[in-house]
Structure 1
Amino acid sequence: MSLSVNAVRFALLTRFLKGQAKVPQMPEAALRIRRLLEDPRTSLEQLARVINSDPPLAAYLMQFAESPLLRGGRPCVSMRDLLARLGTRQLNDLVLGFSLRHLFSSPESALQKAFTLRWRRARERAAYCAALAQRSGLMLDEAMLAGLLQDIGSLPLLAEIEHWPDFPREVATLDELCEELSGDIGALVLTRWQLPTAIIDCARQRGKWQREHSGSADLADLVLVASALQAAESDLPEILPAQLQLGLDMPLTALRDELRQELQLWLRLLA
């Protein structure tokens, strides 16, 4: 980056840290469903009615009715059937994921393209997280959500860039900006949304490939490995400390090949 772009980058981060830039609220649909799921009095019928009142969300969820990823022999014929099969955690994750992809819209094609690219990467990261969680014993639904949200800081960052017309719109420059600032801004967003500390920490540890810690493997380890599996960086070590924490002591290239089939299955679920 040039000095002028670096100056803008510093100014952008300062605006977010001082609360001068807009931080998005958690999508209303996700908030509504989360409140219902947290209430033990909520019935499947009530939950189905609320979801069916949002036709785009209902249509998205019903795509899973014929998915081979759903366990059970008989097909789902109603929203209630689908909700009973998905389970509350997975439903919460799917609703939040669906809401996020519609949370950003820009009249500038360059910014919209940058967001679409990063959203595609977020889905792939979440798919890797799900596959890794199955092997490491960490909670699958929490892992999938953490992977999806690790780069959430890019969303308000790209929205703020609309107000900086002199900032370059080249794909590489926008991508580099997001890579540098997304972690810090994402931690702010997730804290505002009152998400679990473990998920917030995944955003905060973004890109810290040499992270080491005592104790058992945690969610940040898993998301770091998932991000490394996506990365094309030649300077990454063959085996990250996070992999050793997770008991995945094989080169990243070998792990990527081993997870290839599982990755495709989870991408279908998250598409």
Structure 2
Amino acid sequence: MMATQNQHLPELTEILDELDALPQLPDIAAAMLRLLNQQENDTEELARIIASDPVLAARVLRVANSSYYGFSRQIKTILDATVLLGQKTLRNLVLTMALKGLYRLSDPSEKMLWEESMAHALGSQFLSTTYAVADPEEAFLAGLLANIGELFFLQQNPHAYHNCLKNKVTAQCSREELSRHHFPWSFSQMGAAILAHWKFSSELVLCTLYSCQPNHPQDMAPETSRLAHLVFVSRCLCCQLHIGNTQPVCNKTLDEHLNKTLLSSQQIKPQQLLDEFNALYQKNIQTLLSA
């Protein structure tokens, strides 16, 4: 476990030690993640890993040729997709498909949580691109992963989870704030533990831990803090738009939330930001949800 994780995640070891069964990252996603975490990545090997699963490969090609990416020519092979999309984009596409398999989409709550996760990914990427404050692909992945701890608790104890959803309206606070009253750890703590278990980078582990709040440790790496702020603002946008299992439950406006983040230095018109994100979301969400 990395020192930075130990420094900011004192509960992480406890969580991992006390839980017998954490969800496993699908084999093909784990293999791809291991390859991309190496210092020297092999494009042909990445294409081979994806092509080894014909169903996954077909899904990748279908989405790669969709209007979401907007290429002028058809992508016919996984190797073409690797070259044209780039390794990070392809990683995100495969991880999106792999994580989707963890959700039981026949369950309304899990389906809405998956839609919310995709919206967080889109929102984080949109903010990163609009304000040039982080790598858009890293921002997408950070948003995509932010709800994984919540999914774990929903599947482990749906009764307690639905009580959390019900109580947040009465309590006028977020699901994250209420989660410690219904579960041993908060959603963000559980998510960070799962990502550490899956061997994601310490940056993404810490981003998940702090993605529900604008206040971060002073010694936290600036790039990690920026990423966590993007996911936090994306959560706020989704909350305002009632996407997934979210709905506005506090008295703070979007402008007040923005003023607590790195985006406070930007000249942002909250309603314009909300409208632009909503237009992007409505245009692309169905393509991503069907991946």
2:245 maps to which residue?
A: none
| Matched residue type, 1:117 | M
Q: Percent identity?
A: 25
C-alpha contact 1:187 1:203 (8 A) present in aligned 2: yes
Superposition pairs of residues 71-220 of structure 1, within 5 angstroms: 72-105=71-104, 112-137=107-132, 138-161=134-157, 167=160, 172-173=165-166, 179=176, 180=179, 181-209=186-214, 218-220=226-228
1:222 maps to which residue?
A: 230
C-alpha contact 2:192 2:208 (8 A) present in aligned 1: yes
Q: Distance in 1 between matches of 2:160 and 2:71?
A: 52
Q: Which runs of 5+ in 2 are unaligned?
A: 1-13, 180-185, 240-247
String of CA shifts for 1:221-270, please: whole Å, max 9, x gaps: 11111111111234223232344546444353332013333334553553
Output the aligned Cα RMSD: 3.3
In structure 2, do the counterparts of structure 1 residues 208 and 255 end up closer, same or farther at CA, with 3 Å as the change threshold?
A: same
String of CA shifts for 1:109-128, please: whole Å, max 9, x gaps: 7xx32222111101011111
Pairwise CA distance, 1:20: 3.0
C-alpha contact 1:239 1:252 (8 A) present in aligned 2: no
Q: Distance in 1 between matches of 2:251 and 2:206?
A: 24
In structure 2, do the counterparts of structure 1 residues 43 and 87 end up closer, same or farther at CA, with 3 Å as the change threshold?
A: closer
In structure 2, do the counterparts of structure 1 residues 127 and 18 end up closer, same or farther at CA, with 3 Å as the change threshold?
A: same
Q: Which runs of 5+ in 1 are unaligned?
A: 1-14
Q: Distance in 2 between matches of 1:178 and 1:28?
A: 31
Q: TM-score, length-normalised on structure 2? A: 0.72
In structure 2, do the counterparts of structure 1 residues 247 and 269 end up closer, same or farther at CA, with 3 Å as the change threshold?
A: farther
Q: Distance in 1 between matches of 2:192 and 2:175?
A: 14
String of CA shifts for 1:29-83, please: whole Å, max 9, x gaps: 1111123334546343x43333222133112211124323436432212222222
Match of 2:279 among 252, 261, 269: 261
Indicate the SS of the match to 1:239: helix
C-alpha contact 1:136 1:246 (8 A) present in aligned 2: no
Q: Distance in 2 between matches of 1:100 and 1:175?
A: 26
Count of aligned pairs: 250
In structure 2, do the counterparts of structure 1 residues 37 and 204 end up closer, same or farther at CA, with 3 Å as the change threshold?
A: closer
Q: Distance in 2 between matches of 1:37 and 1:203?
A: 20
Superposition pairs of residues 28-39 of structure 1, within 5 angstroms: 28-38=27-37
